[in-house]
Amino acid sequence: MKELAHKYHAGQKRKGEGNIPYIVHPEAVVDTLLKWGVKPDSPMISIAWGHDLLEDTKVTEAEILNVSDETVLAGIKMLTRPREADKKLYLEGIADSGNRDILLVKVSDRICNSKDFIKLEGKLSAYRYLHEADCLYHALKNISDDPVAQNALTAWETLDNELREPARCDAVRGCLIGGAAGDALGSPLEFLRKDSIKSVYGENVSQYVESGDGTGSITDDTQMTLFTVEGLLRANVRSREKGICDPVSVMRFAYLRWLKTQGIEPEAPEDFINSGWLIQEKQLFQQRAPGNTCITSLESKSVPARNNSKGCGTVMRMAPVGLFFEPEQAYDYGCKFSALTHGHPTGITSGGAFAMLIAYLMQGKTLEESLDLTERHLEKIPAASETLAAIRCARTASDISEIGEGWIAEEALAIGIYCAVHHKWNFKAGVIEAVNIDGDSDSTGAITGNILGVILGENCIPEKWRKNLREYEIVSRTADDLYRIFECNESGHVTED
Ligand SMILES: [Mg+2]
């Protein structure tokens, strides 16, 4: 089989890796299996040599049979993904097949490819690629008394451990810096309709156009996102130092500090309002079309807010909650923090749903799976029916205008989801589509930037957008502060009163 693999992969190159001959891949899959204790004369080794032959070359089944047997051919066929087949179903088919040999070859294949991804696209991509196949890992666990499976498990976990920290750090930075870039790009377009954008700028806006020098600046969306991070960090510190805390009131004080940056002196003790580095940042003391509902509800003393607003001010600031908490907690706190400013159930549950979506993405799940899981959660909550309907609309709409304009929470969330779904591998294209719309361009740009940033990492954000972002240093520092939480805890943690 080794000779057949060499013959048919001859001349083929590894995808995107320059001039590396394809054959190094089956070779690596074989070597890995041997290292795990598979005997050299096992049919698994032949299957590993030939696992990509039917998928990627013109070899015939007869030729495979000529150098092997029915078991090997059947194995290679099981590992061959039909062109149109759904990736997830294909992987689940292998995980559930009960065929130990095929499972182990596939795990070896996955681990080898993930390692190649590190060099190609960085550790976040490799981490996502590995976790896309979590069903294989769970299947391995079921046969962990098998010594080869045990070695495979150890290899999987070692790689996962090596990738997790750098991948999460990149995801946090990508999410916050990505949101800020989308916000800055959309800022001058917020009150322009699509045709006016075209007539003023000649075409879709794809660079910062607000000031003549090419720089862009964040608006209230990112300002409030930064203060959300600050609130989470303080809740975490307080909880660790004192054993208990009320994250909702800690968050309220963080938002009151934001209120101060808008020129309104909040009614709260001075040492609460003036503490921390964020409030010292002069650059944040700018009124950038802040949402009225956020201002008035923070000015009033009622907690939760007493209004019936479902403006997008909840969703646009909630990404950090998903970076910090596990999904279910992210949903709960996303709702509670939203309720500090907005009273309508859809405004509140949209904030929760966005935090939950980001939390699933943070775990390494794919966008589709994260959306499925978020939908499943919302199905159980009657107050979330509008939010759920908007997410479903985002996933099926054939045009962005079907969703709405994004002034209200569920529409802003849905536009972000629509743009992320349609531009999964292209941060720039996704954010450009999100801001060149009839509606609330800075918020839809920020939300899209958050989603695509957490998936793709910081390097996916055009360098020019990062370099020309006036608040880059502040956002970057905030992201690193948030990430440091993961070095202390597996995920964010607060202990409530
Ligand atoms: Mg704004």
Kindly report the pTM of this predicted structure: 0.91
CA of 210 to the centre of ligand 1 (A): 14
Average pLDDT rounded to a whole number, residues 249-269: 94
CA of 224 to the centre of ligand 1 (A): 10
3-class SS at 343?
A: coil
Per-residue pLDDT band for 194 (boundaries 50, 70, 90) equals: confident
Per-residue pLDDT band for 76 (boundaries 50, 70, 90) equals: very high
CA of 26 to the centre of ligand 1 (A): 51
| pLDDT for position 497 | 52
CA of 71 to the centre of ligand 1 (A): 61
CA of 416 to the centre of ligand 1 (A): 15
CA of 16 to the centre of ligand 1 (A): 39
CA of 393 to the centre of ligand 1 (A): 24
| pLDDT for position 483 | 92
| pLDDT for position 17 | 62
What percentage of residues in the chain have a pLDDT greater than 70?
Answer: 97
Contact partners, residue 254, CB within 8 Å, separation at least 6: 227, 228, 230, 231, 234
- Most confident of the following: 21-25, 235-239, 270-274, 349-353: 349-353
Average pLDDT rounded to a whole number, residues 278-306: 92
* Residues 347-376: tens digit of each pLDDT: 999 999 999 999 999 999 999 999 999 999
CA of 187 to the centre of ligand 1 (A): 7
> Where do you find CATH 1.10.4080.10 in the chain?
167-488
> Where do you find CATH 1.10.3210.10 in the chain?
2-143
CA of 198 to the centre of ligand 1 (A): 21
| pLDDT for position 430 | 97
Q: How many other CB atoms are there within 10 angstroms of residue 134's CB atom?
A: 17
Average pLDDT rounded to a whole number, residues 403-423: 96
Residue 407 tokens, joined:
């002034």
Q: Is the pLDDT of residue 333 over 80?
A: yes
Q: Is the pLDDT of residue 332 over 70?
A: yes
CA of 287 to the centre of ligand 1 (A): 10
Q: Which residue has the higher pLDDT, 481 or 191?
A: 481
Q: Is the pLDDT of residue 338 over 70?
A: yes
| pLDDT for position 270 | 87
CA of 220 to the centre of ligand 1 (A): 5
CA of 192 to the centre of ligand 1 (A): 13
CA of 285 to the centre of ligand 1 (A): 14
**Mean of pLDDT over the chain:** 94
What percentage of residues in the chain have a pLDDT greater than 90?
Answer: 84
Average pLDDT rounded to a whole number, residues 165-177: 96
CA of 262 to the centre of ligand 1 (A): 13
| pLDDT for position 477 | 96
Per-residue pLDDT band for 379 (boundaries 50, 70, 90) equals: very high
Which of 179, 187, 178 is closest to 208 using CA atoms?
187
CA of 439 to the centre of ligand 1 (A): 12
Per-residue pLDDT band for 413 (boundaries 50, 70, 90) equals: very high
CA of 185 to the centre of ligand 1 (A): 11
CA of 276 to the centre of ligand 1 (A): 23
Q: Is the pLDDT of residue 446 over 90?
A: yes
Average pLDDT rounded to a whole number, residues 377-387: 97
Q: Is the pLDDT of residue 491 over 70?
A: no
The neighbouring-strand residues paired with 21 are 13
Place of tokens 């080898």: 112
Q: Is the pLDDT of residue 494 over 80?
A: no
- Between CA 232 and CA 321 the distance in angstroms is 7
What sections of 51-193 are H helices per DSSP?
A: 53-56, 61-67, 70-79, 87-95, 100-121, 123-132, 134-142, 147-186
CA of 290 to the centre of ligand 1 (A): 6
CA of 312 to the centre of ligand 1 (A): 10
Which of 446, 486, 496 is closest to 177 using CA atoms?
446
Per-residue pLDDT band for 202 (boundaries 50, 70, 90) equals: confident
| pLDDT for position 243 | 83
Domain spanning 2-143, CATH architecture: Orthogonal Bundle (1.10)
Q: How far is CA 196 from each of CA 166, 188, 191, 219, 414, rounded to the nearest angstrom?
A: 42, 12, 10, 21, 23
- Is the domain spanning 167-488 CATH 1.10.4080.10? The answer is yes
Per-residue pLDDT band for 83 (boundaries 50, 70, 90) equals: confident
| Long-range Cβ contact pairs of 96-103 (< 8 A, separation 24 or more) | 96/135, 96/139, 99/75, 100/143, 100/146, 100/149, 101/42, 101/43, 101/44, 101/47, 101/75, 102/47, 102/75, 102/78, 103/136, 103/139, 103/140, 103/143
Q: Which residue has the higher pLDDT, 93 or 485?
A: 93
Q: Is the pLDDT of residue 339 over 60?
A: yes
CA of 314 to the centre of ligand 1 (A): 12
